[in-house]
Amino acid sequence: MKKFLHKMDKARLRFVKLEFALLMFSLVLLALVFSRPEIIGYASTNIHSQDLSLVLDHSQSFYLRSITHEPIHLTSLTISGEVIGAGTASVYLEDEYGIRHLVYKNVKSKDSTHNRITGVSVAGSPMSGLSVTGNTVPAKEEGPILDLLEYHDLYGYEMLPKGYNALSGKFNNACVDSCTLYGKAFIGTHFKLDFFLEPGTNIKVSEIVYTTLEEI
């Protein structure tokens, strides 16, 4: 009888310990969920501002090539300039694998008082830093690390959608889908900027601003 009671006491003790362990695990898990700690590491975000003084009067494609020929992790790209003429103008950014994002398009809904292109880049400004890994790290200004090389002429342009107007005039820090470039896309030694212009429409590109990620 004593042996039986001793075994029961040991079993009850093990059960209490297991309950305590499960309780502590649950409390830690809840703390992790509600505090959302940043456990995936930090990254240094670098900002690169590049004057282009580029004037185009027809559709063209350009390479953005790494100056050092080392892979670059591009995390955003904005463009500033001016559209001259009454036709459509579109700018796309493409990586080595054909993944393409719209950077700028000069269209506005006839029913809207606001331009579809807000001109707002990541976090309101590329100078304010990016939260690209779950940790917002102050960005550092660096010099250009991309060469702009003419690639080839493009044929065709984008038609104006029904119910929209084409806008002319200046635009600043435009980035429709290129405000934040997620994941493993846009890591490579070169990228493409494709400009599609309706005949009779010109585009002046004064500056591109892009951010790159440097793992720590």
Report the distance separating Cα 196 and Cα 174, nearest Å: 16
Mean pLDDT computed over every residue of the chain: 77
Query: For position 14, what pLDDT does the model report?
Result: 52
Contacts (Cβ under 8 Å, ≥6 apart) of 77:
93, 103, 175, 178, 181, 208, 209, 210, 211
Residue 167: φ, ψ to 5°: -100, 145
Q: Tell me the mean pLDDT in the region 56-68.
A: 96
Is this model's pTM higher than 0.75 or not? Answer: no
Query: For position 75, what pLDDT does the model report?
Result: 94
Check pLDDT > 90 for residue 152.
Answer: yes
Identify the weakest region by mean pLDDT among 11-25, 140-154, 195-209.
Answer: 11-25
One-letter identity of residue 41: G
Query: For position 45, what pLDDT does the model report?
Result: 85
Query: For position 215, what pLDDT does the model report?
Result: 62
One-letter identity of residue 179: C
187 pLDDT band (50/70/90 cuts)?
Answer: very high
Return the residue matching tokens 């690169």: 48
* % of the chain exceeding 70 in pLDDT: 66
Other Cβ atoms closer than 10 A to 168: 17
Fold (topology level) of 43-215: Jelly Rolls (2.60.120)
Check pLDDT > 50 for residue 131.
Answer: no
Q: Tell me the mean pLDDT in the region 12-18.
A: 47
* % of the chain exceeding 90 in pLDDT: 57
67 pLDDT band (50/70/90 cuts)?
Answer: very high
Residue with the bigger pLDDT between 19 and 32: it is 19
Query: For position 5, what pLDDT does the model report?
Result: 47
- Write out pLDDT tens, residues 76-100: 999 999 999 999 999 999 999 999 9
Check pLDDT > 90 for residue 24.
Answer: no
Identify the weakest region by mean pLDDT among 29-43, 149-163, 185-199.
Answer: 29-43
